[in-house]
Structures are given as structure tokens and as C-alpha cells.
Chains A and B, each alone.
Chain A
Amino acid sequence: EDQVTQSPEALRLQEGESSSLNCSYTVSGLRGLFWYRQDPGKGPEFLFTLYSAGEEKEKERLKATLTKKESFLHITAPKPEDSATYLCAVQDGRGGSNYKLTFGKGTLLTVNP
């Protein structure tokens, strides 16, 4: 069974204080690892897809990296508007045509001004 564990559960940063979120995963054959952002009362908003170990993706202050066992979401010089829950999800390559996502519980990030 696919498993995704995210840490920490909550993270409070000061504006400009860089940090990283962790996503550890267990999957038989990784097809893709996805990072989403979720604001209160909203659906997950897609950020990045990573397909193979060593891959990196960047978008503004966010950078996602992938190894064979975990992924990191690095946040550089965060701003208050980066406050949200960040979700990690994996897609098992054995899924055939459906490719469902298995999510972690998320990391609640709060950035104080």
C-alpha cells in the first residue's frame, strides 16, 4: 500500500526565514510525485510534478526536489502570502489507467510579517 508522510505537521516562520518541508513516501513504482498548495476552504492547487530521483523544479520562492525515498519543498525568503497547507501526493505506476493520487496529511505553513 502506498504511504506518504509529511513533516513537520505545522511550521511557523518569520517573513524572509527560509526553510524546508519534507515528504517521505513508500510506493512500489513511482510514476510521479506532486506538490499542491491548499488554502482554507479551497481545493488543492497544483504546484509541481517530479518524476525521477534527482529532478528539481522551481517556481518563484519554491523549489521542489526528489530522491528515491523523499521529496523536499524548499521555501526561500517566504512572504505572508505563502501561508497555506502544502500537500504532497504520489502516483503509483502500477495503477493502469486510473493513476489515483495518495496524499499526505500536509504541512500547515504560517509566515508572519
Chain B
Amino acid sequence: EPEVTQTPSHQVTQMGQEVILRCVPISNHLYFYWYRQILGQKVEFLVSFYNNEISEKSEIFDDQFSVERPDGSNFTLKIRSTKLEDSAMYFCASTGSSGQPQHFGDGTRLSIL
């Protein structure tokens, strides 16, 4: 069964550094999302991406964050100048149709020191 894959599974970075989290969505999907889950808290929406542009972003997704689909398979989340509070699990999700279930990867655990 097709699945969403995310790399790396764990990223440790010094505060102030830039990180890029990578995702390979399911191949025929058109809608892409990033969510994050701080330890012990809810899964929170960050950004949605369709037709090569951001369709919605949350208040969390400020100028520190950016997303890109550099080729036909990868979908990346870049966090510039990381802060301690950016430590969380980051999940990528994709779906083939806007109303259909979103399928999630296993996440990248980001630890900021």
C-alpha cells in the first residue's frame, strides 16, 4: 500500500540553525500538508499546499517557515533560525482529493538544543 515517507526520522539542531524536513507524498496525490505535535499536545495544522502554492497557513506558520515542492515527488518544510519552542514532531500528510482522508507519514522528531 502506498505511503507517505518522511526523512529524517530524528533531527537534532542547535538553536538558530536552519533545518529542512523532507517528505515524499503518495505519488498521485495533489494536496499536501504539514502538521506538528508538541509533546503531550494536539496535532496542529501548519500549512496546506496545492497547485504549487500555499492555500492556507496557520498563525504558527510565520516568516520563519517556508514550504517547497522542488520536483514532482518531494515536499519540504524549511525552518529558519530555529527556536527551542520549535521542538516537536512534524508530520507530513497528503490526499488525492480535498475531501478525502489525509494520509500521514511517521513524522520527523525535531529537537532544538
Q: Which residues of B contact A36 (CB under 8 A)?
A: 104
Q: Which residues of B contact A98 (CB under 8 A)?
A: 31, 48, 50, 55-56, 98
Interface string of A46-90 (1 = CB under 8 A from B): 100100000000000000000000000000000000000001010
Q: Give A43 to B98 CA distance when docked, in angstroms.
A: 20
Q: Choose one: B41, B55, B56; the contact of A105 (CB below 8 Å).
A: B41
B99–A97 contact, CB under 8 A? no
A44–B91 contact, CB under 8 A? yes
Number of A-B contacts (CB under 8 A): 65
What is the size, in residues, of chain B's interface with A at 8 Å between Cβ atoms?
Answer: 27
B101–A43 contact, CB under 8 A? no
A103–B43 contact, CB under 8 A? yes
CB distance from B54 to the nearest CB of A (A): 9
**For the complex, would chain B's binding face be called helix, strand, loop or mixed by DSSP majority?**
strand
B55–A101 contact, CB under 8 A? no
Interface flag for B45 (CB, 8 Å)? yes
**Which chain B residue lies CB-closest to A49?**
B101
CB distance from B78 to the nearest CB of A (A): 20
B50–A32 contact, CB under 8 A? no
**Which chain A residue lies CB-closest to B3?**
A43
A34–B48 contact, CB under 8 A? no
A100–B56 contact, CB under 8 A? yes
Known: A34-B102, A99-B98. 9 other contacts (CB 8 A): A32-B99, A42-B106, A43-B105, A44-B43, A98-B31, A99-B31, A103-B42, A103-B44, A106-B42
